[in-house]
Each structure stands twice: as C-alpha cells, then as structure tokens.
Amino acid sequence: MKTKMIGILAIAGLIAMAVFAGTAAANGVPWIKAHNWDHVYVHEFVTTEDVLADCFFGFRETEGTPARIYVVEYKDTWNVGDELVDVSGGFETVSCNAYGTIYKLVWPKPLDAGKYQLVLDMDKYGSGVYSKIPGYAETVYDPLWTFTVTGEPEPTPTIESSDSSGVKKDTFQPGESVSTIGSGYAASTNYNLYVVDDTAWSDGMAIPSRVAGTVTSVTTDSDGKISPHPTSIWASSVIGEYDIVVD
C-alpha cells in the first residue's frame, strides 16, 4: 500500500517525565530496578535506549559484597534452581558500595524487542541459578524487575513548501521559485512528486495531473529526508492554490 503525503503537516510533541528520586533504605531486603540515563525507574524501553540497573543488596551485606546482574527472558514463575541465561551479551559482575547499593549499565543499545527481567543474583560467588537468599525472617529470593523493549515508532512522513533556503513558506509571488522540505521517508529512495491544483482529497482517489513546469520526483538521503534540503520543485510559480503530493 502506498502512502501519500499531501500539503503541509506539522507535528508537535510534549514529553512528560516523572522522576523517582531517593536512596536505598538503611535496612530491608534486596531489590533491583531498571532505569534510564535520566535516573527514572521504568518498565518500558525502546531499542535505541540503554538499560541501567539500580540495586540494593539488603541489610545483611557489607561493602564489597559481590553479585551478578542478569538480563533474562521473562518468565511468569521462577523456581529455585532455574538457570539464569543472560541475553544482553553476558551478565555483569558487581559489588556493592558502603550503602549496599550499585548503579550499573547492564544492557547497552541497541536492544532487542521483547519482554525481559533483571535479576540480582545474590549468591556471593554468582550461582547462575535463581536462589533463595538466607538470613531473613521472611522468605526472600533473588530480586526481579520486569521490563519490555519495543521498536522505535515509525516516523510520520512530512512534506512542506519552502523558500530556497529551506525555510517553510506557504505564500509565493508569481514567478517566484518554490522548494520543498520533508522527512520521515524510507532512506535512499526515489518518490514520485506531484504539484497539483488544490483538491478536496479522499482516500483512494487518483492523483490529478501535475502543474506544468514542476518536478516529477524527489530523492531521500540515508536519514529519510528529502535531499537536497531544500529541493527546488518549481522554477517559476503562477497564481493559484496548490497541493504537494509525495507518492
């Protein structure tokens, strides 16, 4: 199925961020949490992000206590003795500081899409299996943190008219040249371009004939941007209202 981009499309985004701040408790059971470089604990990553781990080794442990951090495929239920198979290129061997904590990059980008868990393997010599941690009044096991990795969303193609410097421009004087800028397309690809009379568009309709004297195609660069930036599409415009279509 072809995608047709018509006229001018502006995209605005607002990013909201909630930050979890704090330090490990002075006592308590071990835990592990995944976070990003903004120090936000998260359960969702995209393939272009790094995964970092923040761990608390528990009140029983002293500075220098060793452990391993695994990134493993998600399991609904873990049983004592289940093997920990790291999928990030190898487990990380770590030791806690004087506060019983550790902060570590555990899976550098690019990531593979899927559902995973971080495991803090608390066997002091790295057992490589899911274990019960002795010494607590309650039953405590190697701590887990579940997260998912998804692919980057596909960019939305855009097309805009511009002046010869690449500055967006919608109104031109007769005889003035018209250029175009755009992004979000497949890399290094040729597309058909149409400058047509302003049209009431509906899905599936045929593209009207091009205005005489306009270019018939554009090319994208390795980043999916129309290249060159800008691209001249009409050397000498005439009075009227028009749409630009990339097919």
Q: Where are the chain's structural domains?
A: 31-150, 154-246
Q: What is the pLDDT of residue 182?
A: 94
Q: What is the pLDDT of residue 176?
A: 96
What is the CATH number assigned to the segment(s) 31-150? 2.60.40.2950
DSSP 8-state assignment for residue 125: T
Low-confidence ranges of the chain (pLDDT < 50): 1-27
Number of H helices, E strands in the chain: 0, 18
Q: Which two tokens stand for residue 232?
A: 């001249």
Give, in degrees to the nearest 5, the angle at Cα 229 between 223 and 239: 135
The residue among 32, 79, 80 whose CA lies nearest residue 58 is 32
Give, in degrees to the nearest 5, the angle at Cα 199 between 179 and 12: 60
Q: Which two tokens stand for residue 225?
A: 């941007």
pTM of the entire structure? Answer: 0.56
Residues 170-190: tens digit of each pLDDT? 999 999 999 999 999 999 999
Distance CA 219, CA 187 (A): 9
Q: What is the DSSP track for 50-113?
A: -EEEEEE--TT--TT-EEEEEEEE--S---TT-B----SSSPEEEE--TTSEEEEEEEPSSPPS
Neighbours of 51 (CB within 10 A): 23
Q: Which two tokens stand for residue 37?
A: 């470089």
- CB neighbour list of residue 15: distance below 8 Å, 6 or more residues apart: none
Residues 115-149: tens digit of each pLDDT? 999 999 987 656 899 999 887 878 899 999 999 99
